[in-house]
Amino acid sequence: MNLPFAMAIFGLIVSAVFAFNAVRELRRNVPGHSRNAAMIHVAMVSMLAPFCLFVVFAYAP
C-alpha cells in the first residue's frame, strides 16, 4: 500500500467520524456554537471526501 492511498483511506475515516458527529449534533437542533461548528464540518466533509475518493481510485494498488 503506497502513502497517498493510505492517507486517502485515513482521510475518509476522519471524514466519516466528523460527518457522524456533525449529523448527531444537527439532530439535537440546539442553537449555538456546536450547531455552527457542525454545519461547517458538514461542508468540510463534502469537500474532503470526494478528493479522498479520487486519490483512492487514482492510487489503488
Does the pLDDT at position 23 exceed 90? yes
- Identity (one letter) of the amino acid at 58? A
> Which residues does 25 contact at the CB level (< 8 Å), separation at least 6?
34, 35, 37, 38
Amino acid 16: pLDDT: 96
Distance between CA atoms of residues 28 and 17, nearest Å: 17
As a whole number, mean pLDDT of residues 14-36 equals 95
- Identity (one letter) of the amino acid at 18? F
The three grid cell numbers given for residue 11, joined into one nine-digit string: 482521510
Does the pLDDT at position 12 exceed 90? yes
Distance between CA atoms of residues 44 and 8, nearest Å: 15
* Model pTM score: 0.85
